[in-house]
Amino acid sequence: MASAPERQRRGAGRLRTWIIIATSVAVAACGITAWTLAGRSPRPVSGQDSAIAARTRGPATPSPLRPSPGPSPSPVIAVTGAPSGVKAKGAVLADAATGQVLWGRNVDTMRPMASITKVMTALLVLQSGDLGREIAIPKAAVSYAWKYGGETAALHPGDVLTAAELLPALLLASGADAAYTLANAYGPGLTAFVARMNATAARMGMTHTHFASPDGLPYPTETSTYSTPADLLTLGLAAMRYPAFRSVVDLQFYHLPKGRGHHQYWWDNTDDLIGSYSGAVGIKDGYTDDAGHCLLFEAVRGSRTLIGVVLDSPSSGVAAGAQAAKQMLNWGFRLPPAS
């Protein structure tokens, strides 16, 4: 039987090759359609509100691919040692520009991922296009969130918001009501939307992932929706290609002033890494009793961009996932370039 360090090295090597292949598949999956912010006329806002609103208006297509190495990449970061103090049962850290895996633990072990699920929901909305589409909040969305004990964005039934305005409700406030609303509109219906989530995951090479809902709530069972650190790395790389996605997930809060057909909303980012770690730019956190603290994250320091995943970090406080991510990032940013 191989030693633990040897198993880790073998796993990292397999994952590096896997990431290169899966990222190529993800590109094909994510490039299906372009989106536009057409439709509703802009609402008059000012000051900080205007600046935040402007950040959600990006190009009509995903950003160009980050550089990707060939089948046998040469490492650009010299890896020595491992991050200390990380207690998460599943984790991975990689260079977002090259796909080089720096460290991993149980990278192919399937675990519930809680609200990280909402990243796939957002990705399908972005792929579908027309972020200016106006969507009425159904009463069933609020009932759904309450029934299953999910986080809510406190959406008001009958309010009409654009898909672009619902993305902060989904990704920052982690609203199960926002997930229901978007899935119901874009499915159409939850069943069709969840089927699209699974089909998209398959096209992206996320072979150890399954979705039972658009939000990651623990039903029908705690483990009905699951993924792996390796698969979620692919999902994060794909989602961060969209300027509209990036411009939301690094916000500490989002303010939507009262406007035509809807109430005023304030949504704080539930990701504890944002605002507490220099260079953090997203992506999404999650928690259930069975999933533990989970986080899909990305951070930038100088010319280096690191992306990683934490699954089932044991509770040591509400920011347990962010604490594990900080330990991984601090280690990764200290690594020297390969000579």
What's the rounded Cα separation, in Å, for the pair 233 and 286? 15
Is-catalytic flag, 118? yes
Is-catalytic flag, 276? no
Cis amide leading into 75 (omega within 30): no
> How far is residue 188 from each of residues 183, 259, 294, measured CA to CA in Å?
7, 26, 29
Catalytic residue among 63, 72, 118, 258: 118
- The radius of gyration of the chain from alpha carbons, rounded to an integer in Å, stands at 19
Catalytic residue among 128, 174, 213, 227: 174
Q: Report which of 220, 215, 224 is spatially closest to residue 174, judged by C-alpha positions.
A: 215
| DSSP annotation string for 115-140 | GGHHHHHHHHHHHH--TT-EEE--HH
Contact status, residue 144 vs residue 247, Cβ threshold 8 Å: no
Q: Which tokens hold the place of 105? A: 């633990």
Catalytic residue among 24, 46, 72, 115: 115
Residue 148, CA atoms < 13 Å, CB-side half-sphere: 25
> How far is residue 112 from each of residues 211, 244, 295, measured CA to CA in Å?
10, 27, 12
| DSSP annotation string for 59-87 | -SSPPPPPP---SSPPPSB---S--SS--
Is-catalytic flag, 115? yes
CA 31 to chain centre: 18
What's the rounded Cα separation, in Å, for the pair 52 and 172? 13
What's the rounded Cα separation, in Å, for the pair 329 and 1? 31
Report the catalytic residues.
115, 118, 174
